[in-house]
């Protein structure tokens, strides 16, 4: 027997080789439609976590039937190293093994590879390589109803279902399931929605259409609440940190530029959430950048001759406080827009509480102007809510900031956590 090699060192058409791998998955034996012959697919993983498919046909399936068991480590020698079919999901980016008459499989006596060390992608990985089918662990926040889409290309009706999901140390994103995944797994997830199920999605791809989303393909597989170490890690992270992202933009957002945000289709009353990176160019300052706000309903109160009146609450002498209301001029390479900000989001742009800023404006207008000027010419990522509203007889798109992404902080935090994990 030759010295063993790693999966990553296998080469095309190499005939003699030995790998030590754990059998992580074993598909059921499938018969060809013609009735002539059968096929079975195995998934192997070595101690580096690299995976490769082993394909068996006909009598080879029978030959190894008794020895194969999921979780067992094997010494496997010889077989055809073949190019993969790139249209289908594969665990290896180049090759698969066809086990043949020359192949040998023995239980490895002195080796024991832990099968749980699967290579998982992050949403960022998929964004940088969207067409490569990836495996990812996601937590399901929301399951939408199925919808029927009419596909022009082949004049077929197809079913889709959108899920709002969150990745480990990542943001809320949409995952679209198609056809049977939408009806079967999608329905299961819908029934479990309150439990916040975790899914292991194998073979998911990225789509850049109206913002970045994840999508299933015909070969995507979904495991619900899989028994993986990452499942627990995901749950712990979500309970500690993740729910805050999720609750501040629960309807999930798409990553998009201003042109897309300004031109995307919205039906009246519909809300869409976007993450967008823009430069702040200025503040609208025709009026104060705050207003007297009813403490009960947050509406603007009118103050005449010391009588504070909230028309929404129909109340005189309503308790009120100043509330930020900022219109921000923003732009990116594609377009420009006006974002509306209130409360904390506004305060984090201005840098001082509204009550303080009001005093500064009265006592030191130069200082006030300086504060306003310092708020501009910054590049920031905002989570915004887009909604079409009717004003008089025209419709306009209202863009309200929901939260501001503290990019630099999050990146540092993620890196330090990653290092800690690798040290273990
Ligand atoms: Zn009120």
Domain boundaries, the chain: 7-107, 123-250, 255-412
> How much distance in Å is there from the Cα of 385 to the middle of ligand 1?
23
> How much distance in Å is there from the Cα of 271 to the middle of ligand 1?
25
Q: What is the mean pLDDT of each run of 10 residues along the chain (424 residues)?
A: 83 92 87 86 86 94 91 91 85 92 89 62 86 88 85 82 88 89 94 86 83 85 84 82 60 78 81 86 91 87 89 86 94 95 88 93 94 91 87 88 63 34 31
The DSSP line for 357-408 is HHHHHHH-HHHHHHHHHHTSS-EEEEEEEEEEEEETTEEEEEEEEEEEE-HH
> How much distance in Å is there from the Cα of 296 to the middle of ligand 1?
5
Give the span between the Cα atoms of 133 and 88, in whole angstroms: 9
> How much distance in Å is there from the Cα of 281 to the middle of ligand 1?
33
> How much distance in Å is there from the Cα of 294 to the middle of ligand 1?
5
Quote the pLDDT of residue 411.
Answer: 32
Give the span between the Cα atoms of 283 and 336, in whole angstroms: 13
> How much distance in Å is there from the Cα of 400 to the middle of ligand 1?
21
For residue 256, give Cα distances in angstroms to 66, 165, 330, 376, 404: 53, 18, 14, 22, 15
> How much distance in Å is there from the Cα of 320 to the middle of ligand 1?
8
Give the span between the Cα atoms of 166 and 121, in whole angstroms: 13
> How much distance in Å is there from the Cα of 60 to the middle of ligand 1?
77
- Pick from 176, 183, 179: nearest CA to 156: 179
3-state secondary structure 87-118: CCCCCCCCEEEECCCCCEEEECCCCCCCCCCC
> How much distance in Å is there from the Cα of 347 to the middle of ligand 1?
22
Q: Is the domain 7-107 a CATH 2.40.50.140 member? A: yes
Residue 83: count of CB within 10 angstroms of its CB: 10
* Cβ atoms of 174 and 254 closer than 8 Å: yes
Residue 252 tokens, joined: 């999930």
Quote the pLDDT of residue 409.
Answer: 38
> How much distance in Å is there from the Cα of 288 to the middle of ligand 1?
20
Quote the pLDDT of residue 414.
Answer: 35
* Cβ atoms of 58 and 38 closer than 8 Å: yes
Quote the pLDDT of residue 42.
Answer: 94
Are β-strands 271-283 and 315-316 bridged in parallel, bridged antiparallel, or unpaired? unpaired
Q: In this structure, which topology does domain 123-250 adopt according to CATH?
A: OB fold (Dihydrolipoamide Acetyltransferase, E2P) (2.40.50)
> How much distance in Å is there from the Cα of 154 to the middle of ligand 1?
55
Q: Which CATH architecture has domain 255-412?
A: Beta Barrel (2.40)
Residue 96 tokens, joined: 């698969």
> How much distance in Å is there from the Cα of 67 to the middle of ligand 1?
74
> How much distance in Å is there from the Cα of 356 to the middle of ligand 1?
23
* Cβ atoms of 45 and 89 closer than 8 Å: no
> How much distance in Å is there from the Cα of 308 to the middle of ligand 1?
10
* Cβ atoms of 223 and 200 closer than 8 Å: yes
> How much distance in Å is there from the Cα of 299 to the middle of ligand 1?
6
* Cβ atoms of 354 and 371 closer than 8 Å: no
Beta bridge partners of 22: 45, 73
* Cβ atoms of 339 and 347 closer than 8 Å: no
Phi, psi of 262 (to 5 degrees): -75, -25
CA atoms within 13 A on the CB side of 304: 5
Residue 71 tokens, joined: 């979780």
Residue 169 tokens, joined: 């140390």
Residue 81: count of CB within 10 angstroms of its CB: 18
Give the span between the Cα atoms of 225 and 242, in whole angstroms: 18
Residue 331 tokens, joined: 């732009």
> How much distance in Å is there from the Cα of 360 to the middle of ligand 1?
27
Residue 174 tokens, joined: 């949409």
> How much distance in Å is there from the Cα of 313 to the middle of ligand 1?
4
């Amino acid at each position: 027997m030759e010295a063993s090699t790693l999966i990553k060192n296998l080469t095309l058409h190499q005939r003699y080789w030995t790998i030590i791998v754990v059998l992580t998955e074993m598909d059921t034996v499938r018969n060809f439609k013609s009735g002539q012959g059968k096929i079975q697919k195995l998934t192997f993983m070595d101690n580096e976590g690299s995976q490769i498919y082993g394909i068996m046909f006909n009598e080879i399936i029978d030959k190894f039937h008794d020895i194969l068991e999921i979780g067992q480590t094997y010494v496997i020698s010889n077989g055809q190293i073949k190019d993969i079919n790139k249209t289908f999901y594969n665990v290896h980016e180049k090759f698969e093994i066809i086990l043949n008459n020359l192949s040998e499989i023995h239980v490895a006596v002195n080796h024991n590879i832990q099968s749980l060390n699967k290579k998982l992608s992050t949403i960022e990985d998929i964004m940088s390589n969207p067409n490569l089918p990836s495996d990812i662990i996601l937590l399901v926040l929301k399951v939408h109803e199925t919808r029927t889409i009419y596909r022009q290309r082949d004049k077929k009706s197809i079913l889709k279902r959108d899920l709002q999901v969150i990745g480990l140390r990542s943001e809320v994103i949409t995952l679209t399931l198609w056809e049977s995944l939408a009806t079967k797994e999608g329905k299961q997830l819908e029934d479990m929605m309150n439990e916040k199920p975790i899914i292991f999605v194998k073979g998911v791809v990225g789509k850049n259409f109206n913002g970045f989303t994840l999508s299933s393909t015909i070969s995507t597989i979904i495991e619900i609440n899989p028994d993986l170490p990452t499942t627990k890690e995901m749950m712990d992270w979500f309970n500690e940190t993740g729910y805050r992202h999720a609750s501040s933009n629960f309807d999930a957002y798409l990553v998009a530029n201003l042109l897309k945000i300004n031109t995307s289709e919205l039906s009246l009353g519909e809300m869409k959430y976007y993450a967008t990176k823009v430069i702040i160019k200025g503040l609208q300052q025709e009026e104060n950048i705050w207003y007297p706000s009813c403490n009960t309903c947050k509406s603007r109160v009118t103050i005449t001759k010391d009588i504070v009146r909230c028309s929404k609450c129909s109340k005189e002498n309503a308790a009120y406080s100043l509330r930020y209301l900022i219109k921000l001029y923003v732009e990116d390479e594609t377009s420009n827009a006006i974002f509306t900000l209130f409360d904390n989001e506004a305060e984090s742009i201005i840098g001082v509480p509204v009550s303080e800023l009001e005093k500064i404006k009265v006592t030191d207008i130069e200082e006030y102007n300086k504060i306003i000027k310092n708020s501009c010419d910054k590049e920031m990522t905002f989570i915004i809510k887009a909604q079409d509203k009717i004003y008089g007889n025209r419709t306009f798109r209202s863009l309200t900031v929901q939260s501001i992404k503290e990019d630099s902080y999050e990146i540092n935090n993620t890196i330090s956590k990653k290092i800690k994990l690798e040290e273990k």
